Structure 1
Amino acid sequence: MYKNILFIFLILLVSSCASQPSYTLVDGELETSVTETLKYYLYYPPEYELKPEKKFPVLLFLHGGGEVAEDLGPNEKIPPPSLILQGRKFPFLILAPENSYAKSWWNTRAVKQLLDSVVSKNRIDRNRIYLSGISRGGGAAWEMAVQYPETFAAMAVVCGMTPLPYASWINKKMPIWVFHGEDDDVIPVEESESMVNKLKEFGYDVRFTKYENVGHEAWSKAYATDELYAWFLRQQLQN
């Protein structure tokens, strides 16, 4: 039986400064391999067992800096994981890795390898891989959209840091939905406003939702929006 949430450890070979490298001589040149441990949640929708012939979408969710800890406990306080624990059912898998470094950015290469592993070992519709993140995880989502433009069918970013040059590097066929609280004193709403304006200037399919009288925790409203999940399900990768 699949549980709604699985707690899994995974060792990945990635390029990272966080671990001790090992060196191998290949064709007269040194190559470096680095191991990184990722802990993550993996949610299976109720239909996964009932329809063994069906392939399902997957949502990759990246948490923010406030959720960094030695275990996954804090992740349970924010959606989507918190909504799952409250009994909400989703029609797709949800992959929620943990960044365990309080002062470090997400290792997006490790996250991509984790995603690839989950996709290869499960019945995933490769044309319906979705991406979302909040705060620091929102910044990582923008980065992953740039690094892996042919992977994600749609992206939703909530109160994320938004490097403006990324606007010209993202796949123009990928729909984007941005959320931000107008009273955010951690990452100002102007970050998202500037990015959305630039994306629209370049002709991207982008939606922007600003919440009045809401601070940094805009994710509480964003992930409670039923239309967000319906919007994800309408999107497919366009090559």
Structure 2
Amino acid sequence: MHPPFFYQIFNKFLNSYSSNVSNTNGPKTTFTLKEFVFRVHLVEILHLQMRSILYVILLVIFQSCASQAKPILIDSEMETNVKENLAYYLYYPEDYEEEPEKDFPLLLFLHGGGESGDSLVTVKRNGPPKLIVQGKKFPFLILAPQNPNAKKWWNTRAVKQLLDSIVDNNRIDKRRIYLTGLSRGGGAAWELAVQYPDTFAAMAVVCGMTPLPYASWINRDMPIWVFHGEKDKSIPFSESETMVAKLKEMGYEVIFTRYPNVGHSAWIKAYETEALYDWFMNQELK
């Protein structure tokens, strides 16, 4: 029992007692100590009950307010900037300067995971850049960027931005832009074909992971040449085999070159195939 409250009850009792005792118009009232304690105890019980009732009322009010709170769905927007620093090689055919009025085809080459990083010279290890170092001449420009992330996929949006910049600042025939890639770069080539179906006139992919569920997004009029080694333990041969079967089933024009006794290095034979480059030169965006 809190002293302040008890004293209040006691004072009220004394006042009542004094009033009753001094009342000359009626009989005098007296209280025993037992009656006094009982009355104080009764008042305290009533006080506790009122506190309990007040608590319940407040709890109900709080729960009622809480139950009225609802989830909020807002709409907004934010402009994002995806930045990637892409180093690259750009090869010009020998007659590019000799024919200033002519627009030339361009081949976009995407290397594999082993050439990723910050040493651009590694891009010359495989594919068309390697052949250029060895003295081979091509009839088209070749754009060979480097993926700066050794343990990440190609940023295909950044690659497309680079390609657009090269096309806008050089004499490029926009209806004769070709695409090729090996291994991780082969997977990126497939991805670019899915994301930008109206950009490329033809595509050659060497042992790349495939976007099978999105095969139908690829331009149905774009010829495709796929290379893969049957002994590939890095990217299973079935990746290309299943993708080619799906594309042919949907009516795509696909050439499939399979190497029975070749592992993941199918790109060596693939890019030494002279007919590949003649095939590219015969294609135009439809």
Bin of the TM-score, shorter chain as denominator length: 0.7 to 0.9
Indicate the residue corresponding to 1:25 in structure 2: none
Q: Does 1:42 align with 2:90?
A: yes
Render the CA deviation track for 1:113-166: whole Å, top value 9, x for unaligned: 100000000000000000001011111111100110000000000000012112
Q: Does 1:227 align with 2:227?
A: no
Instruction: Kindly name which structure, 1 or 2, has the bigger radius of gyration based on alpha carbons.
Output: 2
Query: 2:84 aligns to what SS in structure 1?
Result: strand
Q: Does 1:128 align with 2:176?
A: yes
Deviation at 1:32, TM superposition (A): 2.6
Of 118, 128, 133, the match for 1:80? 128
Indicate the residue corresponding to 2:7 in structure 1: none
Deviation at 1:29, TM superposition (A): 5.2
Indicate the residue corresponding to 1:52 in structure 2: 100
Deviation at 1:33, TM superposition (A): 2.2
Unaligned ranges ≥5, structure 1: 1-27
Paired positions, count: 211
Indicate the residue corresponding to 1:179 in structure 2: 227
Indicate the residue corresponding to 1:198 in structure 2: 246
Indicate the residue corresponding to 2:153 in structure 1: 105
Deviates more, 1:88-97 or 1:34-43: 34-43
Q: Does 1:169 align with 2:180?
A: no
Structure 2 counterparts to residues 133-144 of structure 1, below 5 A? 133-144=181-192
Aligned equivalents of 1:34, 1:191: Cα separation in 2 = 30
Q: Is the 8 A contact 2:85 2:148 kept in 1?
A: no
Query: 2:81 aligns to what SS in structure 1?
Result: strand
Cα RMSD (Å): 1.1
Aligned equivalents of 2:231, 2:179: Cα separation in 1 = 25
Indicate the residue corresponding to 1:67 in structure 2: 115
Aligned equivalents of 2:217, 2:240: Cα separation in 1 = 16
Deviation at 1:36, TM superposition (A): 1.8
Query: 1:125 aligns to what SS in structure 2?
Result: strand
Give the letter for the 1:124 counterpart. I
Aligned equivalents of 2:109, 2:102: Cα separation in 1 = 22
Give the letter for the 1:157 counterpart. V
Aligned equivalents of 1:198, 1:33: Cα separation in 2 = 35
Give the letter for the 2:132 counterpart. I
Q: Does 1:150 align with 2:201?
A: no
Render the CA deviation track for 1:154-202: whole Å, top value 9, x for unaligned: 0000000012112211110000000001111100111100000000000
Q: Does 1:213 align with 2:253?
A: no
Aligned equivalents of 1:166, 1:175: Cα separation in 2 = 17
Of 120, 135, 142, the match for 1:94? 142
Could you tell me the percent identity over the aligned residues? 70
TM-score, structure 2 normalization: 0.72
Aligned equivalents of 1:122, 1:48: Cα separation in 2 = 10
Q: Is the 8 A contact 1:142 1:166 kept in 2?
A: no
Deviation at 1:69, TM superposition (A): 2.5
Could you say which structure has the higher helix fraction? 2
Q: Is the 8 A contact 1:45 1:90 kept in 2?
A: yes
Query: 2:123 aligns to what SS in structure 1?
Result: helix
Q: Is the 8 A contact 2:179 2:203 kept in 1?
A: yes
Aligned equivalents of 2:77, 2:252: Cα separation in 1 = 43
Kindly indicate whether structure 1 or structure 2 has the higher relative contact order, using CA contacts under 8 Å at least 6 residues apart: 1
Give the letter for the 1:78 counterpart. N
Deviation at 1:30, TM superposition (A): 3.7
Give the letter for the 2:219 counterpart. N
Query: Structure 1 residues 201 and 69, CA, compared in 2 at 3 Å: closer, same or farther?
Result: same
Unaligned ranges ≥5, structure 2: 1-75
